[in-house]
Amino acid sequence: MKLPKERKERIQVLVLGTIGLAALVFAVVSLAVNPLLARQRRNAKKADIVMENLAKADRDVHSMVLLGNEYRRLQSELNAAESNDLVKPVLGSYLLSVRDGIEQTARRTDVKLTGIQEIGLQVLPIAAGAPNRTFRSYGIQVIGAAGYAQVRNFLKALETSNPYLSITEIAINGRADDPRAHGLSVRIEWPVMTGENIPTSAGEVK
């Protein structure tokens, strides 16, 4: 392009050209560069957030893999306790499910039973703010007569048969008519599940 010959006109053209070019640069920067940079910043921010979440998720998954062993161990112990040690009702009656075991133990240890009375289900106290209990207490009162050693063997056999069974009351009274056979009254309690089951369907973390 040839510039005008007149100096004044030439300066005018140059100034106009400069202004035009500056406007073009400004337009390019504001319409293309800045939006691109803004989107780049947004992308970077989003990527940072996702990366942070990824790191947290990675930690969670990693720790869950480590805790998986504990989970499996607890679940297995709870399942074993549920099938072997927790009292389950037979046709709605807890007494039916424990009576045979008590009578057999008494026969084996030479304790004469004169009665088994049901105390029933009881709720144990809960600390303020604590979640509801999974277990309630089911209790019975066993009445009979036996010598001190037989009573001891009877209680030992009961305690050994179930690690969660608790002997919560006992009364041994000497009898004037037969000093070798004491009057015996024992209260026995077991934990029973009250509704919520042990979780079994947790996702396996690979």
Partner 1 sequence: MSLHVDLLLPEERRVVTPMHPKRMLKILLGALILFALLAGASALQRYRVSYNERRSAAERWAKMEVRQKEAAQMGKDLAVCRGVYGELQGWRGTRLPVADWLERLATLCPPSVQLTELRMTETAVLGGPKNAPCRRFELHLAGRTGGPQADRNVLLLQAIFKNQKPFSNAVDSVTIPEGSFRQDPSAGAAKSDRVFELVIRCAPRVF
| Residue 19, SS3 per DSSP | helix
- Residue 86, exposed/middle/buried by CB under 10 A (0-12, 13-18, 19+)? middle
| Total site size for partner 1, rule CB under 8 A | 85
201 contributes a contact to partner 1 by CB under 8 A: yes
91 contributes a contact to partner 1 by CB under 8 A: no
Buried b (16+ CB within 10 A) or exposed e, 163-202: eebeeeeeeeeeeeeeeebbebbbbbbbbbeeeeeeeeee
Site for partner 1 in 167-186 (CB under 8 A): 167-174
Q: What's CA 176's distance to the chain center, in Å? A: 54
Minimum CB distance to partner 1, residue 99 (Å): 21
Q: Are 191 and 137 in contact (CB under 8 A)?
A: yes
18 contributes a contact to partner 1 by CB under 8 A: yes
Site for partner 1 in 25-54 (CB under 8 A): 25, 28-29, 32-34, 36-37, 39-41, 43-44, 46-47, 50-51, 53-54
- CB nearer partner 1, residue 81 or residue 143: 81
Stretch that binds partner 1, among 15-23, 87-95, 98-106, 110-118 (CB under 8 A): 15-23
Site for partner 1 in 127-166 (CB under 8 A): 127-128, 131, 133-135, 137, 148-149, 151-153, 155-156, 158-159, 163-166
